[in-house]
Amino acid sequence: MTDRPIDPDLDLVLERVVDVRPELLWKCWTEPEHLMQWFTPAPWQTIACEIDLRPGGIFSTTMRSPEGEVIPPSPGCFLEIVPHRKLVFTDGLGPGFRPKSAAFMTAIVHFEPEGEGTRYRAIALHVDSEGKQKHEDMDFFQGWGTALEQLVVHAKSL
C-alpha cells in the first residue's frame, strides 16, 4: 500500500481498517464543509478550511481551542493527489509550491479498499527526530485516532 519505506526515526503511522468506503472518506477529506466537521479532535474545532485540490493547491485549516483561542492557519499545499486513493500535503511549502521558512511535516493519507470498508493509513513525515518526537508528544496517536473516529462518524452520516 505504501510507495515509500517508513523511517521509524522520522515517521509516525496511524493505520486502521474502518467500515466506510474510500469514496466517502475521500469526500470528507477533500470538501471543506465536510473536513471542518471532523478534522480537529473534539473539543477543538476547525472553524475555517480552504482546499484547492490540485498539486500546488492550497490546504489550510484554522482551529479554535475549547477556551476560544484561534490558532491561525499555516497554509500548505498538496503535493500528490490520486483520487479516492491518496493525498499528500505539506506545511513546508505554501500554495504554488512556494518554499516556507519552517516546516513541521508532510502527510500521506492512503485509502485502500478492504472488504466493505477501507484500510486507512496516515503517515506523518518529519524533518528530524526532534520534530517527530514533538509531534508524538503532542499525542499524535490519540489526536489523529480521535480525528479518524470523527471522520468515520461523519462519513456514515452522509
Lowest mean pLDDT among 3-12, 20-29, 41-50, 52-61: 3-12
Give 41-57 pLDDT, tens digit per residue.
999 999 999 999 999 99
Per residue in 67-78, pLDDT (tens digit) is: 999 999 989 999
Question: What's the predicted TM-score (pTM) here?
Answer: 0.92
Tell me the average pLDDT across 7-35.
Answer: 97
Percent of the chain with pLDDT over 70: 99
- DSSP lists the bridge partners of residue 90 as 77, 106
Q: At what angle do helices 22-30 and 140-156 cross, to 10 degrees?
A: 110
Tell me the HSE value of 7 on the side-chain side, using a 13 A CA sphere: 10
Mean pLDDT score, 31-39: 98
**Average confidence score pLDDT of the chain:** 95
- In order of their start, the domains of the chain are 11-156 (3.30.530.20)
Cell of 21: 468506503
